[in-house]
């Protein structure tokens, strides 16, 4: 396994509260890694810290073996793109203008806009199927289109690693699948390393090669979903009773929570606990 990103004794705190404590984590190259965990467990904080949006309290994040604190922020931006949670574009910014911003790290005072920039922007628009919408203002798009536009910006950045903080939040099921399919294709065809935070455990199992479960300021399990996800892990991480079965379409783990609800089977009593 080739390592893309590594954290060494990484501790992150928000004010006085310690969120992540002395974490050693290796993220494999060319795979899709998904961070899962309960609300407030620090998975987004960890992703933001890896993306240098948040300074760690101590420890370091290594990118291809080099500490990101030693690299210039523009150098990092050529290797790693980050899509933060629910970004907002300035009023009136068009899709094309948004996607063009993705080329910023590749530009210098002397080299402002090149043919390569143009090509990468067109490729990104094509991959996200936004060519017909490129002159529309971002704020006039639907949620799914808007998220695609932001992803197109990170694609134009042309980095080997793409980090995404809850890219499917606020999207309906169709658009969640659309976004995840897009990222999956990107990984399959272009061998991009994708690291993201997802809330939906079942979608995480379906798309991720590598699951990182976070609990108690540290990683409590990491590996292929089919090796890692079972009832006891879900109970431990989410404090929820469930049955883990096999997804009938993909064969990946499928988590079905216990709880109340309208059971129409005979074993109603058993299901409701």
Partner 1 sequence: MLLKSSSLKLAGLLAAIILMLLLMCASVIFGYTDTNLQMAIDAFTNNNGSNEHIIIQMVRLPRALIASVVGASLAIAGVLMQTLTKNPLASPGILGINAGAGFAVVVAITLFSIDSTQGFNALAFLGAAVAAISVYVIGSVGHGGLTPMKLTLAGAAMAAMFSSFTQGLLVLNDALLDQVLFWLAGSVSGRKLETLVSVLPYIGVGWLGSLMISGKMNILAMGEDVAKGLGLNTGFIKIAIGVLVILLAGGSVAVAGPIGFVGIVVPHITRSIVGIDHRWVIPMAGVLGAILLLAADIAARYLLMPSEVPVGVMTAIIGTPFFIFIARKGFNAR
Least separation, in Å, of the C-beta of 72 and partner 1? 8
Residue pointed to by tokens 């074993």: 267
Sign of CA dihedral 134, 136, 137, 142: negative
Question: Is residue 74 a contact residue for partner 1 (CB under 8 A)?
Answer: yes
Least separation, in Å, of the C-beta of 108 and partner 1? 11
Residue 205, number of CB atoms within 10 A of its CB:
24
Question: Is residue 254 a contact residue for partner 1 (CB under 8 A)?
Answer: no
Range in contact with partner 1 (rule: CB under 8 A) among 47-55, 121-129, 229-237, 242-250: 47-55
Nearer to partner 1, 158 or 213 (CB): 158
Nearer to partner 1, 93 or 203 (CB): 93
Cα gap 137→140, rounded to integer Å: 6
Backbone dihedral region for residue 30 (phi beyond 0: left; psi -120 to 50: alpha; all else: beta): left
Among 8, 78, 134, 199, which residue sits at the site for partner 1 (rule: CB under 8 A)? Answer: 78
Question: Is residue 113 a contact residue for partner 1 (CB under 8 A)?
Answer: no
Closest CA to 252 of 192, 191, 198, 211: 211
Range in contact with partner 1 (rule: CB under 8 A) among 34-42, 84-92, 125-133, 194-202: 84-92
Q: What backbone phi and psi angles, to 5 degrees, belong to 129? A: 50, 50
Least separation, in Å, of the C-beta of 120 and partner 1? 14
Question: Do residues 11 and 20 lie in contact, with contact meaning Cβ atoms separated by under 8 Å?
Answer: yes
What does R_g of the chain's alpha carbons equal in angstroms?
20
Among 14, 24, 92, 170, which residue sits at the site for partner 1 (rule: CB under 8 A)? Answer: 92
Contacts with partner 1, residue ranges (CB under 8 A): 48, 51-53, 72-78, 81-84, 87-93, 97-98, 101-102, 104-105, 157
């Amino acid at each position: 396994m080739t390592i893309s990103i590594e954290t060494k004794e990484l501790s992150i705190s928000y004010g006085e509260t310690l969120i992540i404590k002395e974490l050693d984590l290796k993220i494999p190259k060319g795979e899709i890694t998904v961070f899962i965990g309960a609300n407030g467990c620090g998975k987004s904080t960890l992703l933001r810290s890896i993306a240098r949006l948040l300074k760690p309290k101590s420890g370091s994040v290594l990118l291809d073996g080099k500490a990101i604190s030693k690299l210039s922020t523009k150098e990092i931006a050529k290797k790693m793109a980050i899509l933060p949670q629910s970004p907002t574009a300035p009023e009136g910014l068009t899709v094309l203008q948004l996607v063009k911003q993705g080329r910023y790290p590749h530009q210098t005072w002397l080299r402002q806009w090149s043919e390569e920039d143009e090509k990468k922007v067109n490729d990104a628009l094509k991959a996200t199927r936004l060519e017909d919408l490129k002159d529309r203002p971002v704020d006039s798009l639907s949620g799914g289109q808007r998220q695609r536009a932001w992803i197109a910006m990170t694609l134009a950045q042309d980095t080997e690693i793409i980090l995404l903080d809850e890219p499917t939040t606020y999207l309906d099921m169709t658009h969640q699948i659309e976004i995840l399919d897009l990222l999956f294709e990107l990984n399959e065809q272009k061998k991009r390393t994708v690291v993201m935070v997802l809330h939906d455990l079942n979608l995480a199992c379906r798309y991720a090669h590598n699951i990182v479960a976070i609990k108690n300021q540290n990683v409590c399990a990491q590996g292929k979903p089919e090796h890692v996800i079972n009832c006891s892990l879900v109970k431990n991480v989410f404090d929820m009773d469930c049955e883990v079965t096999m997804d009938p379409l993909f064969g990946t783990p499928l988590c079905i929570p216990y709880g109340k609800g309208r059971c129409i089977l005979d074993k109603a009593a058993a299901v409701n606990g």
